[in-house]
Amino acid sequence: MINRILLAGLFVVASLSSCMPPPGGNAAGKPNSPLGDYGSLVFMGMIILVFWLFFIRPQAKKQKEQKKFIEEMGKGEKVVTIAGIHGTINKVNEDGTLQLEVSPGSYLKIERSAISMDWTAALNKPTTEKK
């Protein structure tokens, strides 16, 4: 994730430096780009569109899925916390916490947001039988 952000930042810096006019200006006084004076604005608009498509939109979609997952959790589901603790939901409390049974007779009280959606999905994924 950090590598993609750094790569995108380098791309923006390189793009902005290419939008700068030459130090001496143009001798004829005409713009160098086919879009004229608006070329750099169009280019910046395209960069913003790319950021939205590849960074902002997928992150918002994932947050929406995480929120839906947390709201739909119920008693008896096997889950994995973000700390890697495996257990079964014993009770869903009204204050946004869960009572998690980690071994028979042993319970932990944790926040709902501490459940990992990805690891829980991997835990509950049906295993295929090998022949």
Q: What does the pLDDT look like over 108-125, one tens digit per residue? A: 999 999 999 988 888 888
pLDDT attached to residue 124: 83
Whether 88 and 45 have beta carbons less than 8 Å apart is answered as no
User: 59-74 pLDDT, tens per residue?
Assistant: 899 999 989 998 898 9
Please check whether residue 88 is in contact with residue 78, taking contact to mean a CB–CB distance below 8 angstroms. Answer: yes
Gap between the Cα atoms of 8 and 92, Å rounded: 42
Closest to 35 in 3D by CA, of 45, 43, 27: 43
CA 30 to chain centre: 44
- Predicted TM-score of the model (pTM): 0.58
Distance (Å, rounded) from C-alpha 3 to C-alpha 9?
A: 10
Mean confidence (pLDDT) of the chain: 81
Domain annotation for the chain: domains and CATH numbers: 2-23+31-71 (no CATH), 78-124 (2.30.30)
